[in-house]
């Protein structure tokens, strides 16, 4: 299913809130460092930060890439990139405003050594993006990305099977249903992008699956509240104004302990364009 990767993101309020969250809390920087380490950039000359947003992953790439490497941050939301240009100033980094599916139209003719995509692949036309990555990767180049556990249908062992108290999301749903009559979020139990689908799409694109891993992020309630305060992530996701969403979030958060930790799971995927056989 094709997702609209731009909806809600090309908005100054969202971009500012997202950038503030990424610089205050470790979620995006930690996952970016993990993905970039798996990309093995030691000898890379050109690296793409796909769906790069305000540059959290580009910053991690720049920290590990060789001094003469070129980094391209490609994203479809000008507002996100405007924030990134303001806060991340490095001559090795260039910004390209384009959809992920159009990657091949903006990559250098001689190709790229790695493509990294943090927290966004599910929002794209996945087969089209994988085909575009295949077109631009040099032989031996790596494509590294992650998929949220709910979308991938995976759970890390650290995640409790039976939560001891309602999650912030559950509390939000209850308050919204009580005060506004909103229906509960749909939960059909079918993951949108499981590993079987990922593997199938990679194979169809001509890429080889190298490694998979299920990782965990330990997130406090305070961090979770900050994430849900970003307009594009606010809940419930339709029918209410942002002000109403924030009032519900505040009431739900008041019923939690700020230092309580929740565990979110992620499927991490490493693929590669194989070297031609001699």
Domain that holds residue 204: 12-155+189-218+263-272
- What's the CATH number where 33 sits? 3.40.50.150
CA–CA distances in Å: residue 46 to residues 6, 22, 50, 82, 191: 25, 24, 13, 22, 33
- Domain assignment present for residue 167? The answer is no
- Domain assignment present for residue 160? The answer is no
The pLDDT of residue 3 is 37
- Domain assignment present for residue 268? The answer is yes
The structure's pTM equals 0.94
* pLDDT tens track for 139-180: 999 999 999 999 999 999 988 776 678 889 999 999 999 999
Confidence band, pLDDT 50/70/90 cuts, at residue 6 = low
- Domain assignment present for residue 170? The answer is no
* pLDDT tens track for 205-243: 999 999 999 999 999 999 999 999 999 999 998 789 999
Q: Whole-angstrom Cα distance, residue 34 to residue 37? A: 5
- Domain assignment present for residue 232? The answer is no
- Domain assignment present for residue 258? The answer is no
Ordered DSSP codes for the chain = ----SSTTTS-HHHHHHHHHHHHHSSHHHHHHHHHHHHH--TT-SEEEEET-TTSHHHHHHHHHS-TT-EEEEEES-HHHHHHHHHH---TTEEEEES-GGGGGGTS-TT-EEEEEE-S-GGGS-HHHHHHHHHHHEEEEEEEEEEEEHHHHT---TTS-SS-SS--HHHHHHHHHHHHH-PPPPP-----SS-HHHHHHHHHHHT-EEEEEEEEEEEEEHHHHHHHHTSGGG-SS-SSS-HHHHHHHHHHHHTTS-TT-EEEEEEEEEEEE-PPPP-
Ordered DSSP codes for 158-174 = TS-SS-SS--HHHHHHH
Residue 14: is its pLDDT beyond 90?
Answer: yes
- Domain assignment present for residue 252? The answer is no
* pLDDT tens track for 131-141: 999 999 999 99
Please tell me the total count of domains within the chain: 1
């Amino acid at each position: 299913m094709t997702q609209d990767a731009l909806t809600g993101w090309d908005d100054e309020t969202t971009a500012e809130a997202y950038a503030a969250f990424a610089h205050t809390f470790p979620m995006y920087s930690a996952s970016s460092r993990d993905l970039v380490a798996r990309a093995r950039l030691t000898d890379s000359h050109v690296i793409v930060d796909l769906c790069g947003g305000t540059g959290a992953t580009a910053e991690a790439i720049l920290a590990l890439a060789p001094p003469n490497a070129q980094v391209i941050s490609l994203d479809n939301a000008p507002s996100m990139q405007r924030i990134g240009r303001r806060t991340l100033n490095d001559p090795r980094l260039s910004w390209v405003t384009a959809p992920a599916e159009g990657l091949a139209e903006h990559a250098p003719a001689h190709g790229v050594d790695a493509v990294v995509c943090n927290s966004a692949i599910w929002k794209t036309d996945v087969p089209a993006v994988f085909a575009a990555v295949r077109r631009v990767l040099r032989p031996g180049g790596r494509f590294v990305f992650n998929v949220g556990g709910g979308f991938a249908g995976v759970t890390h062992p650290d995640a409790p099977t039976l939560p001891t108290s309602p999650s912030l999301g559950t509390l939000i749903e209850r308050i919204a249903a009580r005060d506004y009559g909103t229906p509960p979020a749909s939960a059909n139990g079918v993951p949108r992008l499981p590993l079987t689908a990922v593997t199938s799409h990679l194979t169809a694109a001509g890429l080889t699956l190298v490694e998979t891993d299920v990782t965990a992020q330990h997130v406090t309630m305070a961090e979770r509240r900050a994430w849900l305060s970003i307009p594009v992530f606010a809940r419930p996701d339709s029918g209410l104004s942002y002000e109403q969403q924030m009032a519900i979030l505040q009431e739900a958060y008041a019923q939690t302990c700020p230092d309580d930790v929740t565990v979110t799971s992620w499927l991490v995927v490493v693929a590669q364009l194989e070297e031609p056989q001699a």
